[in-house]
Chain A
Amino acid sequence: MRVRFWGVRGSLPVPGSRTERYGGNTSCVEVTSAGGTRIIIDGGTGIRRLGKELMRAEFEAGKGCAHILVSHTHWDHIQGLPFFAPFYREGNQLFVYARRRDDQNLRSVFASQADAPFFPVSLASTRAKVAFRELQDGAAFEIEDMRIATARLNHPHIATAYAIASDGARVAYISDTAPFTDILFGQEFLSGPPSRRPQLSRGDKTRLRAMAGAVARLCEGADLVIYDTMYTTDEYRQYPHFGHSRPSDAIAVCGAAGCRMLALYHHAPDRADSEVDAMWSEAREQARAQGKTLEVVAAFEGMDLTLGSG
């Protein structure tokens, strides 16, 4: 299994010299199996370059197939899709997966992104065959030689975590999510941090525990866990209501689940390269101090990992 990072940034793309090493494009990770099955997780601006590379091979000839798993439809996870070249070549097959919503079907969410007045090319006019698949919380399914498991995450408007297994390897993508301790996120708008704590109801606590349990199962024995670690401890204290985690949250989950490698991911837009370096070394120290064999890396654009038997 090969895992390549095309965009590692959260919130919005941040071009410039301060982000040159880790990269400024928003979320996009490509996972391919030795058998040639291609999964793309999230369609942030990183997917544009991936699309250009895919157009050098079978997608140019209109013979490509890819499965796009969307964690959630906040902009930084979908804003690159209208710029994904394979959509505009007849014959290509693209399957888009995301969590089922009660209020709006998936196609209409994506169609509104590409509608006038926002974008000159409508979804209906893409040439490729595009199919949408709506997922229930906790859905498990297969895509060719890859097994997919999902879990609900704790994020405003709700996000989905994915685990992908093939070639004797397993990768989990846990982004975006808050820790499962302080706030239970749903559809409501939170204007600030909860005024005083603890104020979680018993029911909310139970729901959060169940959510944490499902995420732990996704990560169980994973070779690689890609985790939303947007915030430092201080930032989390200020913005718990934005729905993102700290490296310590990811280390706790991965450590308990016996994972081999953790990739810090969804870097904050303000985070300069040297600051990501600092978060990374602090996280490595933290994992080591807890006696964990967990290897910690900080995801960067262009990072290319081979897991399992290839």
Chain B
Amino acid sequence: MEVTFWGVRGSIPSPGPSTVRYGGNTSCVAVHLDDGGILMIDCGTGARNFGISLLAGAFGRGQGKATVLLSHAHWDHIQGFPFFGPFYVPGNAFTVVGGSQGCELLERVLEQQMAAQFFPVQSYRNMGAHIEMRAVWDDGEIRVGSARIVAHPNPHGPTQALAFRVEADGKALVYASDVGYPAGGPPASTVAVYRDADLLIHDSTFTPEDRQRRVERGLSSVEDAVEAAIRANVRRLALFHYDQDYSDLDVDQLASRGRLQLDARGASGTTIMAAAEGMTVRL
């Protein structure tokens, strides 16, 4: 499978010269499976550019099909939904998969985002494509073509966000954004979901110092991401969901701190990278 980052920022898009290298769009990751299946994980503003790229192919002709996995409904994970071009092409078909509180909530959330006072399209039903909502229960499993996907709820401040493990083509990808572990780090049940992943995309919003000051936000530091990667014995760690105020240089530093920490912990075999908009990783 192939993983492409279209948005790597947390909280709110942060345009400007200081974020050009890593990118300022909010969370969106595309997964292209070997069987042709397409997954979009989260729908931040990065989804707009992903949509534009898809329109050049089958999605532009109304013959596209994809599954959208939503970790949770905070703005930075859904605000690209109204701007995803393929949703507006009749004939395209999408399944939108969201959290354990049920379809009804997911539909209500997306409808409210589209409501007349906020957006001129007024309803996702007016978008044109066939969009089906589907709930996945905590630690429930769904199948998309040859892929097996497990959704695991992680603590995220006062709420929860789903982590997704995608197994296909003999490889395992884990997406774990927006997670604030309790003291003591990721619990065994979480580590089991991340176990031996070929790529772990992990929330690294903060430096450890900034995280300390904003524990209540339920987000991770680069140190938390490294800890999760070590415990789960993952092969490659991608830092993700950077704070909106972090410049490209700040993100460079997050990555080098992560590298130093992995080495210090004897995990030299684990690769670390800071996810950047436009980057593609082949597993």
Contact = CB atoms under 8 A, between A and B. Distances in A.
Interface stretch (B20-28, B30-38, B131-139): B20-28
A120 B217 contact: yes
A45 B118 contact: no
A117 B16 contact: no
A240 to B, nearest CB: 13
Interface string A170-203: 0000000000000000010101000000000000
A73 B118 contact: yes
Interface stretch (B70-78, B144-152, B162-170, B201-209): B70-78
A243 B122 CA distance: 14
Interface string B99-139: 00000010001001100111111110010000000000000
A238 interface: no
Interface string A110-123: 00110011111000
Contacts of B11: 83
B20 A17 contact: yes
B199 to A, nearest CB: 24
B154 interface: no
Contact of B119 (A75, A104, A117): A75
B62 interface: no
A118 B122 contact: no
Interface stretch (A7-15, A87-95, A161-169, A285-293): A7-15
Contact of A269 (B48, B79, B120, B121): B48
A16 B15 contact: yes
A18 to B, nearest CB: 10
A101 B117 contact: yes
A15 B19 contact: yes
B73 A117 contact: yes
A271 interface: no
A118 B16 contact: no
Interface residues on A, range: 35 or more
B72 A24 contact: no
A15 B120 contact: no
A48 B122 contact: no
A101 B277 CA distance: 40
Nearest to A20: B17
Interface residues on B, range: 35 or more
A120 B74 contact: yes
A260 interface: no
B157 A12 contact: no
A25 B74 CA distance: 19
B254 to A, nearest CB: 18
Given A45-B13, A189-B126, A157 B116 contact: yes
A189 to B, nearest CB: 5
A86 interface: no
Contact of A73 (B19, B82, B105, B117): B117
A161 B150 CA distance: 50
A187 B24 contact: no
A256 to B, nearest CB: 28
A102 B105 CA distance: 26
B159 interface: yes
Nearest to B24: A15
B112 A112 contact: yes
B87 to A, nearest CB: 14
B191 interface: no
Contacts of B244: 48, 83
A28 B109 CA distance: 26
Given A19-B15, A24-B15, A83-B12, A117 B120 contact: no
B75 to A, nearest CB: 5
Nearest to A187: B116
A79 B15 contact: no
Contacts of B105: 117
A23 B74 contact: no
Interface in B18-64: 19-20, 23-25, 45, 48
Nearest to A18: B20
A20 B74 CA distance: 27
Interface of A: 9, 11-17, 19-20, 23-25, 45, 48, 73-75, 78-80, 82-83, 101, 104, 109, 112-113, 116-120, 156-157, 187, 189, 191, 242-243, 269, 301
Please provide the 4 A-B residue pairs with the shortest distance between their CB atoms, ordered closest to farther. A15-B24, A24-B15, A15-B15, A13-B13
Given A117-B105, A117-B109, 10 more contacts: A9-B15, A12-B48, A13-B45, A14-B48, A45-B13, A74-B118, A101-B117, A117-B73, A189-B126, A269-B48
17 contacts: A9-B15, A15-B20, A15-B25, A16-B24, A20-B16, A20-B17, A24-B13, A25-B16, A48-B244, A74-B119, A79-B12, A83-B244, A104-B117, A117-B72, A117-B159, A189-B116, A189-B122
